[in-house]
Chains A and B, each alone.
Chain A
Amino acid sequence: MGNRQTLRRRLVRDFLLNKYLYLMMVPVIAYYLVFFYGPMYGALIAFKDYSPMKGILGSDWVGLKHFQDFFGSFYFLRVLKNTILISLYTLLFEFPAPILLALLINEVRRKKFKRVVQTITYMPYFISLVVICGIITDFTNADGLINRMFMFLGYDGQAMLQKPELFRPIYVLSEIWQRIGWESIIYIAALMSIDLEQYEAARIDGASRLKQMIYITLPGLLPTIMIMFILRMGNLLNVGFEKIILLYNPVTYETADVISSFVYRKGLLEFGWSYSSAVGLFNSVINLVLLITANTLSRRATQNSLW
C-alpha cells in the first residue's frame, strides 16, 4: 500500500512539474484513441450479422460463422496461396532493391549526377496508381511497347496480362520500378550517418571500395535494414489490392486473386461487411504473429528490434 502511495505522489509531483509536456501528449493520445483504438470496436461485426440500421451492438451474434465460411470457401486455399506467394516474391525481390540502389548511389562521386538519379528513380512513386496500371496495361498489350521489343528480337507478341504465369513477375517488377527510389531515401539517410573516419582508416589499411562496402557500409546499414524488414513482416499479407484489381482479369485470377481483392469483391460489391471484417481480422492476426516472430528472431540474431 505504502509503495503505491509514493508512486501516486511521485506521479502527481511529476505531473505538476511537467504539466505542459503532459498537455502536449493529449492530442497524440486522442489521435490514437480515435483513429486506432476506436475502430477496433468495429471488429465486433466479424462475429455478427451486421446491419447498419441495427447498429453494431444491435446486430445478431453469429459466432464464428463468417470465419467458417471463409475457411470453407471454394477459393480459400487459392487466395491464401496467392497472397503469400505475391508477398514473398515482393519481399525477396523488391525489398533488397532499394538497398542496392542506395549502395550504388552512395558510390557516385558527382553530387549533381547523384541528385538527378535520385529524382528520376523516385518519380514513379508520385504517379497515381490508376495511371501506373494504365501504363502497365498499355505496355504489356499484344502490340504494346514490351511486346514490340520482343517481336524485334524475333519472339511472338502476346497479351501478357492474359497469361496467368506472367502476372506475378509483372506485379513484382512494376512494384520495384514504383518504389525503388522512394524507399532508398531512408537507406541513403542511414548511410550519411556512418562515420567517415572508418572509411579513411580502411583506405589506409588498403581496403578496396568493394571491401569498404562489405565491411563498413553494410554493417552500418544493417540496423536500418532490420527495422525495415520487421516492419515489412507486419504487413506481409496486406498485398495492395488496388493494384491487383486494376491489373487482374478472370484469366489471371488463379495467380492474381489475393485475400484483399477477394474481400473487395465479396464485401464491398456484395455488402458482406461482416464477412470482410472477419477476413480482415484473420489477416491482422496472421500479420501480428509474423511481426512478433520477425521481431524476436531479429532481436536474438542481430540485437536489432522494434521493442
Chain B
Amino acid sequence: MKKIAAAAMVITLLGALMAGCSSGDKNSGNAAEGASPEGTAGAAESTTYPLKTDEKLSYWGEINGNLVGVKASHDEIPFFQKWQEKTGVKLDFTAPPSGQVKEAFNVMLASGDLPDMLEYNFIGDFPGGPEKAISDGYIIKLNDLIDKYAPNLKKYLQENPDIDKMVKTDNGSYYVFPFIRGDEYLRVFQGPVIRKDWLDELGLPVPETIDEWTTTLRAFKEKKGAAAPFSVVSKPRFFNESGNGAFIGAFGVNRGFYQEDGAVKFGPAEAGFKDYLKLFHDWYAEGLIDKNIATADTKAVDGNIASGATGATVGNAGGGIGKWQPLVEANDPKAVLVAAPYPVLKKGDKPKFGQMNQAYASEGTVAVTTAAKDPALAVRMLDYGYSEEGHMFFNFGEEGVSYTMEDGYPKFTDLLMNNPDKLAPAQAISLYARSSYNGPFVQDKRYAEQFFALQTQRDAVEIWKNTDAAKYNLPNITPTPEESSEYATIMNDINTLVDEMTIKIILGSEPVDKFDDYVAKMKSLGLDRAIEIETAALQRYNSR
C-alpha cells in the first residue's frame, strides 16, 4: 500500500511540476498584457516611426515560396531587415520549413512555447477558426489594443466598413493584422491558360464552351502530338485549382460549399458534380488529360508545359503565365500563352464560378499571442504597414533602391524587373517588398500593373474576371468554437471521400454511376449537419 501511495505522490508531484510550468508561461503573458507598458501613454493617436525601444520581439512566419533557394532566413532578406529599421523594433524570426507550415505550426502550439507574433492563416488553416484560437488562449483579442495603439489600421477599417466586417469574427473580435487586396483588380489572378499559337495554327478560336474545349484538346492531341493536352497540378488535392471553380463551374457547382438562393450547398453532393466527373472521365479515357494526373505536382506540370506535351492548364497570371511564357518560348520561339475564359456549357452564358478572392485574404495575417511580452509594442509595430509610409514600403520597398517616383507613380527599378542576379521579378520583388504575395498591409494595384509585365497577363485578369463567383462564393465564415471539432471530423472524412471519388471515377476505376452511392455515403458521414453548421455561420456573418 505504502509503495502505491509513494508512487502516486511522485506522479502527482511530477504532474504539478509540469502544470506549474505551463501555467507559469500563461500568467506571465497575461501579466504583460494587463499592465500597459511605459512609454505608450499619450501615443494613442499617432505613432512616430522608428519607435524608440530596446525590446526584441519574436516573430514566427513562413518565408515566401518565391524565395526558397534564394535566401535561407528572414534575416538575409532586405525587406525584413529594413522593416526592423523603419519600425525601430528588433525582431527575432523563426521560419517553419517551407511546405510544412501547418505541421510546424501545430507542433509549436502543442509545445506551448509561443513567440510574440504569429503570421498564419487563422481562417483557412486553424481548425475552429480565429474565435477558437482566442478562446483556447493562443492569440489575444486585439480590439482594445487596436483602439489604443493602431490608429492607421483603425482609420482604414473605419473608412472601409465592408472590409471591417470581414476582418472581425462573429463576436466582433479583431484577431489579426489583415492582408487586404486594395483593389478589385487584385482579387482575380487565376484561370484557364492555353497555347494561342497552337490555336492559330489549327484555325481554332479560344475555347469558351465545354464542347469547344473537347474539340480543342482533341486537336492538340491529334494534330500537335501533345502527350498530355490538359495538365494541372494535383498536389495536395486532385486538380487543386478546381477548388476555385475551374471547369467544375460550368456545371453550376464548385468543390466546396457555396450559396445559392439563400441556401448553403456542397458542390460534390450536387448533380452537376456528376456531369463534371463524367466529362473528365471521358477526357481521361480519350487521352486528353495527363496520364499521371493523380500524382502531377508543380514540377511535373511545369515540365509538361515547357516541353509542349501540354497545351492547356489552369494557373495564375503572375506565377503561371509569367513563369511558363519564358519556358515555352525557350522550346518554341512562336509560343504564346493566353488566358481562356472560365468555360460554360452554352455559349454566351456567364460562368457561375471562377477564381475571385475576398478583399480580405485570410493568409499572411499576423496575430499577437498570449505569450507576448509587450503586446502594445507588437501592435504599434504591426500598425506601420497601414500607414502611408508603410504602405509604400510594403508594396514597393525602398525608394531609390527598389522603386523610383516618376510623376507620382512608384516605378520598380531594374533591380526588380531585370534582376542582375537573374532572379525572376516575382522573386526579386519578394526580396524588397511583400506586394507580390501577402502580409500585414493593404496591397496596391500599381504593383500588379508592373508585375504583370506581359500584355497577356494583364488581359488575363480582365478575361477571368467575368464570372458570377462573387454572388455564389461564401464569405470567410467559421463555425463556432463549440461546433468546430464536430465540423472538422465530418469534413475530414467527407473530403477524403470526395478526393477518392473524384479521382477514381475520372481514372475509370469506378463507374460514373457510383456517384450516387458516394453521395449517400457523404450523407451518412454527416453532410447535412455540416451544411447546417455552415448555414448558421453564414447567417451570423450576414448579421455582423
Contact = CB atoms under 8 A, between A and B. Distances in A.
A69 B489 CA distance: 10
Interface in B221-240: 227, 234, 237-238
Given A266-B492, A268-B103, A56 B18 contact: yes
B370 interface: yes
B29 to A, nearest CB: 10
Given A52-B110, A250-B294, A269 B15 contact: no
Give the interface centre of B19, B102, B291 by most chain A CB atoms within 10 Å: B291
B102 to A, nearest CB: 6
A250 B506 CA distance: 12
B295 A75 contact: no
Given A52-B112, A53-B136, A162-B507, A58 B499 contact: no
Contacts of B323: none
A266 B488 CA distance: 9
A36 to B, nearest CB: 15
B450 interface: no
B525 interface: yes
A303 interface: no
Which of B18, B107, B370 has the most chain A CB within a 10 Å cutoff?
B18
A73 B493 contact: yes
B292 A53 contact: no
A253 B496 contact: yes
A222 interface: no
Interface in B97-127: 102-103, 106-107, 109-112, 126-127
Contact of A142 (B136, B138, B291): B291
Contact of B504 (A51, A58, A251): A251
B500 A250 contact: yes
Contacts of B137: 51, 53-54
Contacts of B234: 249
Contact of A269 (B16, B102, B111, B370): B102
Contacts of A253: 496, 499-500
B28 interface: no
B292 A159 contact: yes
B292 A162 contact: yes
A55 B23 contact: yes
A58 B137 CA distance: 13
Nearest to B499: A250
A270 B488 CA distance: 8
A212 interface: no
Contacts of B488: 270, 272
Contacts of B237: 250
Contact of B109 (A55, A158, A271): A271
B543 interface: no
A75 B294 CA distance: 21
Nearest to A157: B291
The size class of the interface chain A forms with chain B is 35 or more
Contact of A56 (B15, B502, B504): B15
A249 B294 contact: yes
Contacts of A254: 500
Contacts of B136: 51, 53
B204 interface: no
B134 to A, nearest CB: 11
Contact of B295 (A58, A162, A271): A162
A53 B26 contact: yes
Given A53-B26, A75-B496, A251 B15 contact: no
Contacts of A224: none
A138 B107 CA distance: 31
A270 B525 CA distance: 18
B22 interface: yes
Contacts of B44: none
Interface in A262-294: 265-266, 268-273
Interface in A15-45: 41
Nearest to B291: A142
B489 A142 contact: no
- Most chain B beta carbons < 10 A, residue from A55, A143, A273: A55
Contacts of A269: 102-103, 106
B9 interface: no
Given A159-B295, A251-B294, A53 B138 contact: yes
B509 interface: yes
A142 B500 CA distance: 20
A174 interface: no
Contacts of B107: 268
A53 B25 CA distance: 9
Contact of B294 (A53, A74, A162, A270): A162
Contact of B111 (A52, A73, A250): A52
A298 interface: no
Contacts of A161: 294-295
A162 B525 CA distance: 26
Contacts of A296: none
Contacts of A57: 15-16, 18-19
**Which of B14, B109, B294, B507 has most A Cβ within 10 Å?**
B294
B277 interface: no
B109 A52 contact: yes
A266 B103 CA distance: 11
B503 interface: yes
A250 B493 contact: no
Nearest to A144: B292
A163 B136 CA distance: 43
A163 B18 CA distance: 48
A58 B19 contact: yes
Nearest to B309: A143
Contacts of A73: 493
A278 to B, nearest CB: 13
A247 to B, nearest CB: 9
A248 to B, nearest CB: 10
Nearest to B234: A249
A251 B509 contact: yes
Contacts of A250: 237-238, 294, 496, 499-500, 502-504
The 7 A-B pairs with the shortest beta carbon distances in the complex, nearest first, are: A53-B137, A142-B291, A250-B499, A55-B22, A52-B112, A57-B19, A162-B294
Given A57-B16, A250-B238, A265-B496, 7 more contacts: A52-B109, A53-B112, A54-B22, A54-B137, A249-B238, A250-B500, A250-B504
Interface of A: 41, 51-58, 69, 73-75, 137, 141-143, 157-159, 161-164, 249-251, 253-254, 265-266, 268-273
